[in-house]
Amino acid sequence: MSATHDHPVSQLCDPWGILLRRDAVEMGVDDKALARLTHAGVLVRLRQGAYCLRSTYQAADEAGRHLLLCRAALLQYADHVCLSHASSCLAQGGPAYGSDLLRAHLTHLHGGGRNGARISRHVGGCRVGEVRRWHGWWVTTPARAVVEVACADGVGAGLVQANHFLRAGLLLPDELAQQADAALRWPGSLRLHPVLHLADGRLESVGETLTSLLVFRAGLPRPEPQWEVRDHDGTLLGRVDFAWPEHRLIVEFDGREKYLHHRREGESISDAVAREKRREDLIREVTGWRFVRLTWADLQTPARTAERIRRALAAPAAPAA
């Protein structure tokens, strides 16, 4: 057990390792003592009036640290607020992509509010059905949180969250459309149109979602996601990220999370990559279809990558074996 968990102050923290100043003072730990504990590396100051055990904080990744900040803010403001925007998405299992993790996003249930230290307070009331409980606190529903992220953080961030929650079964297309209709007068609401148009729960990763957005923005034909490639006898050769069957073209996004997700028991990352290469060679040999593989670096040069896909769409495919 970490030394900070052995420290007596750990008994004053909540199950998440969080300690509010007001609670510490009530239990006899004054500001000077809190300062000493912070200087000694026992506590980390999350924001004004809120601390966390350093061992808990260091063990958390970037998303986990953001949720610690959110938990502290909710403890301070209780049921007057709900987590919203990127904070709500992250709390409900959404990806961290495109999120501002330095600040907790709160919406006052009765309207109003102003920004504070490491807190973004958003103006606007929540309707019945737009909030739900999370570990005893209020959060905006996945449908509203996706709309909030799209309006505030852009199409890419909103689409990533939409596809995640659609795939997880926590959001239905009709729910997203209804929530978007309710937000037509929100700042940034024009960003909702491409999100609604492209949202697809079949996409399995952030990289796949951003690839679909790149294709859309380039004006390229919309591909079929998660396409099953079969040989002449109908035997399944593999399922690919994107396919243009009429052009006999396949696009796959290669991200580390893909190999982690599909890695078999006892298989290393390099083993998974080699197996993927054998699958690709078999599909190419049997069908004659072309492959284009994309990485995160390709998403950073969208014009060049779109032109690469455009050339591949126009090129003749090799004859099938």
27-73 residue pLDDT tens: 999 999 999 999 999 999 999 999 999 999 999 999 999 999 999 99
Structure tokens at 89: 């998405």
Residue 197, amino acid: H
Query: Do the Cβ atoms of 212 and 242 come closer than 8 Å?
Result: yes
Mean pLDDT is highest, among 1-5, 260-264, 281-285, for 281-285
Query: How is 133-181 classified by DSSP, letter by letter?
Result: EETTEEEE-HHHHHHHHHHHH-HHHHHHHHHHHHHTTS--HHHHHHHHH
Beta-strand relationship, 249-253 and 290-294: parallel
Classified by CATH at the fold level, domain 206-314 comes out as Endonuclease; Chain A (3.40.960)
* More confident: 287 or 61: 61
Of 49-53, 99-103, 158-162, 310-314, minimum mean pLDDT range: 99-103
138/91 Cα distance (integer angstroms): 11
Encoding tokens for residue 3?
């030394």
Most confident region among 6-15, 49-58, 71-80, 102-111 by mean pLDDT: 49-58
pLDDT computed for residue 259 by the predictor: 47
**Mean of the per-residue pLDDT values of the chain:** 90
Question: Residue 1 — pLDDT band, cuts 50, 70, 90?
Answer: very low
Res 299 pLDDT > 50: yes
Model pLDDT, residue 80: 84
Kindly tell me if the per-residue pLDDT of 267 is higher than 90: no
Q: How far apart are CA 71 and CA 51, in angstroms?
A: 11
Supply the pTM of this predicted model.
Answer: 0.87
pLDDT in tens, 157-215: 999 999 999 999 999 999 999 999 999 999 999 999 999 999 999 999 999 999 999 99
**Is pLDDT above 80 for 7?**
no
Residue with more model confidence, 155 or 285:
155
The predicted pLDDT at position 122 comes to 87
* pLDDT score for 209: 98
Distance separating alpha carbons of residues 239 and 276, to the nearest angstrom? 11
- The answer to whether residue 216 scores a pLDDT higher than 50 is yes
DSSP string, 203-236: --SHHHHHHHHHHHHTTPPPPEEEEEEE-TT--E
Q: What percent of the chain has pLDDT over 70?
A: 88
Asked whether the predicted pLDDT for residue 321 surpasses 60, the reply is: no
Residue 278's pLDDT is what?
A: 81
Residue 233 has what pLDDT? Answer: 87
Q: Percentage of the chain surpassing pLDDT 90?
A: 70
Collapsing DSSP states into helix, strand and coil, what is residue 259? helix
What are the sequence ranges of the domains in the chain?
Answer: 3-59, 62-198, 206-314
d(CA 151, CA 153): 6
Predicted confidence (pLDDT) per residue in 120-134, tens digit: 988 777 888 999 999
End-to-end CA distance of the chain: 60
Confidence band of 320 (pLDDT split at 50, 70, 90): low
Q: Tokens 């907790």, residue?
A: 104
Q: Quick one: pLDDT at residue 178?
A: 97
Task: Please state the rounded mean pLDDT for residues 107-111.
Answer: 78
**3-state SS assignment for residue 48:** coil
